[in-house]
């Protein structure tokens, strides 16, 4: 299954792998068997796919190897449990419905499982099945029904493959009809535009500083880091917006305001442009600080990160897990989250929907800025992931957010992969990893609202209604 996702992107494997799981589940109706096979399927799925968590915690978070391994294993087991519980639910279906009816319902159950995975304990929807389809024929559905529902469509095709392999065509004719209708509908919606291009484009430059995580927070390296960014910035004053990535400036705002931030603002104003950069912003009155993006120059603005990373930016269940602080050394592990509703920044009347790192994993976080935002900007410090699968997977997730919202995405990172993504999820330009690079492109903002942005807040209702129908069916039987 991990081969279906970036950087491999053999999306057909997501359909084939789940088809194999369905074939196993069709062999027996034992709850224990379906739970166990689902769990081991999940271990293969997530055991490889999110193994990078260990390297983030150990290599860059300086966590003790046992602690890093323990947290990684627990996360893999937790994610695998969702597939196991899906198997358990499917076993219940098989006792109450015919096999053909259960197959029709399975894609709906998969949707519910992924939705819950993105909600429970703040959510971790990494490797949602739908992400493997950003380059498949199913990708246009993202703007209509979103990544979780694309997962359902993928499972529907997996069920169809399982039916064809077992030659149970007559018993499952409605499933095959539905799969065939989906092919036709996909062809119909592929070229339908739900958002409109603005007349004005912005010339945007991204600076990828490639600052190693090992030196990023060393005070004696701050000037070197600034020199790297200024060297590239000085070559691009003709851009409307210059973007530096998450925490590009290592330090807290009140400590570097006079020495760094004010001169930076004055220079950007003099050059008649804008610089958007990451820095830690302090609220001295509350003794709190935020992971933030600031804009200086002709336009000013500020954004505080809303969705923080567990163990990376805050310690979850602090009253229970606070002892782990002595085993994990992460420089930004006690931050505050920003307000859900924050003013949008803008350049030349083009409004920017800014998010930081992990936030673009959540549709609901990105969609809070819509439909007002015309361009999405996600900044990240993927140096935490090293040379693992994670930066590639993260880029793939950003592609899906662009598809869902019908907005271009500017993805600015410290060590790569930085990219310009169009509103259909296609990567127009991207950097290499672990190199100092700049990317420049004319980005045209878009207006309007996709169907998915409209329905996304009500996905929970679909899950509840499905559960009620299922429960009522059980009572009737």
Residue 64: predicted pLDDT: 83
Residue 317: predicted pLDDT: 61
Of 166, 161, 163, the residue nearest 16 (C-alpha): 161
Q: pLDDT of 238-281, one tens digit each? A: 999 999 999 999 888 888 988 999 999 999 999 999 999 999 99
Domain 196-446, CATH: 3.60.110.10
Rounded CA-CA distance 305/110 in Å is 30
Residues belonging to the active site: 246, 305, 357
Residue 430: predicted pLDDT: 98
Residue 322: predicted pLDDT: 60
Residue 435: predicted pLDDT: 97
CA distances (Å), 391 to each of 348, 380, 475, in order? Answer: 31, 10, 47
Domain with CATH 3.60.110.10 in the chain: 196-446
> Around Cβ 97, how many Cβ atoms within 10 Å?
16
Cα atoms in the 13 Å half-sphere on the side-chain side of 80: 25
C-alpha of 10 from chain center: 19
Rounded CA-CA distance 17/304 in Å is 40
Residue 477: predicted pLDDT: 45
- Token readout for 401 is 């957010």
Rounded (5°) CA angle 126-161-21 = 50
- Token readout for 303 is 């954004």
CB 427 within 8 A of CB 417: no
Q: Quick one: three-class SS letters along the chain?
A: CHHHCCCCCCCHHHHHHHHHHHHHHHHCCCHHHHHHHHHHHHHHHHHHHCCHHHHHHHHHCCCCHHHHHHHHHHHHHHHHHHHHHHHHHHHHHHHHCCHHHHHHHHHHHHHHHHHHHCCHHHCCCCCCHHHHHCCCCCHHHHHHHHHHHHHHHHHHHHHHHHHHHHCCCCCCHHHHHHHHHHHHHHHHHCCCCCCEEEEEEEEEEEEECCCCHHHHCCHHHHHHHHHHHHHHHCCCCCCCEEECCCCCCCCEHHHHHHHHHHHHHHHHHHCCCEEEEEEEEEECCCCEEEEEEEEEECCCEEEECCCCCECCCECCCHHHHHHHHHCCCCCCCCCCCCCCCCCCEEECCEEEEEEEHHHHHCHHHHHCCCCCCCEEEEEECHHHHCCCCHHHHHHHHHHHHHHHHCCCEEEEECCCCCEEECCCCCEEEECCCCCCEEEEEEEEEEECCCHHHHHHHHHHHHHHHHHHHHHHHHHHC
> Around Cβ 416, how many Cβ atoms within 10 Å?
23
CB 367 within 8 A of CB 253: no
- Token readout for 185 is 């509908």
Tell me the β-bridge partners of 278: 293
Mean pLDDT, consecutive 10-residue stretches, the chain (477 aa), reads 95 98 93 97 97 86 85 96 97 89 93 95 94 98 98 98 91 92 96 96 98 88 95 98 96 88 96 97 81 96 92 66 59 78 96 96 96 98 90 98 99 97 98 97 98 95 77 54
Rounded CA-CA distance 40/109 in Å is 19
- Token readout for 19 is 């088809």
Q: What contacts 114, CB < 8 A, 6 or more positions away?
A: 125, 128, 129, 130, 147, 148, 151
Q: Is the peptide bond before 233 cis (omega within 30 degrees of 0)?
A: no
Q: Is the peptide bond before 163 cis (omega within 30 degrees of 0)?
A: no
Q: What is the pTM of this model?
A: 0.93
């Amino acid at each position: 299954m991990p081969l279906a996702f970036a950087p491999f992107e053999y999306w057909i494997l997501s359909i084939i792998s789940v088809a194999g799981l369905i074939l196993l589940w069709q062999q027996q109706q034992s709850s224990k068997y379906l739970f166990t096979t689902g769990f081991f399927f999940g271990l293969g799925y997530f055991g490889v796919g999110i193994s990078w968590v260990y390297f983030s915690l150990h290599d860059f978070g300086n966590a003790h190897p046992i602690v890093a391994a323990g947290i990684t294993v627990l996360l893999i087991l937790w994610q695998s449990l969702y597939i196991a519980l899906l198997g358990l639910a499917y076993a219940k279906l098989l006792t109450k419905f015919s096999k053909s009816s259960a197959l029709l319902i399975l894609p709906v159950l998969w949707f519910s499982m992924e939705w819950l995975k993105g909600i429970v304990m703040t959510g971790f929807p990494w490797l949602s099945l739908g992400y493997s389809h950003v380059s498949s024929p199913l990708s246009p559905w993202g703007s209509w029904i979103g990544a979780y529902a694309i997962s359902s469509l993928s499972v529907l095709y997996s069920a169809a493959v399982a039916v064809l392999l077992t030659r149970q065509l007559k018993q499952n004719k409605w499933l095959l009809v539905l799969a065939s209708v989906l092919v036709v509908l996909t062809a119909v919606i592929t070229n339908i535009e739900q958002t409109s291009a603005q007349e004005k484009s912005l010339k945007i430059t991204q600076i990828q500083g490639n600052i190693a995580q090992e030196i990023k927070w060393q005070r004696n390296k701050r000037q070197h880091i600034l020199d790297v960014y200024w060297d590239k910035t000085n070559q691009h004053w003709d851009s409307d917006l210059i973007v530096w990535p998450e925490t590009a400036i290592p330090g807290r705002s009140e400590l570097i305001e006079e020495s760094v931030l004010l001169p930076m603002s004055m220079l950007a104003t003099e050059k008649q442009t804008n610089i958007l950069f990451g820095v830690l912003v302090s609220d001295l009155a509350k003794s709190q600080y935020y992971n933030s993006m600031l804009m200086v120059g002709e336009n000013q603005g500020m954004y505080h990160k809303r969705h923080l990373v567990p163990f990376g930016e805050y310690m979850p269940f602090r009253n229970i897990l606070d002892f782990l602080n002595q085993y994990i050394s992460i420089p930004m592990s006690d931050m505050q989250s920003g307000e859900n509703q924050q003013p949008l920044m803008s350049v030349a009347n083009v409004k920017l929907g800014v998010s930081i790192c992990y936030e673009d994993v959540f549709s609901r976080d990105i969609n809070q800025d819509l439909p007002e935002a015309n361009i999405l900007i996600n900044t990240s410090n993927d140096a935490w992931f090293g040379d693992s699968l994670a930066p590639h997977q993260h880029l793939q997730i950003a592609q899906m957010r662009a598809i869902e919202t019908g907005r271009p995405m500017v993805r600015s990172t410290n060590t790569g992969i930085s990219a310009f993504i169009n509103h259909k999820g296609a990567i127009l330009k991207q950097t290499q990893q672990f190199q100092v690079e700049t990317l420049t492109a004319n980005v045209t903002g878009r207006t309007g609202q996709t169907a998915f942005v409209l329905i996304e807040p009500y996905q929970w209702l679909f899950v509840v209604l499905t559960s009620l129908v299922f429960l009522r069916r059980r009572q009737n039987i």
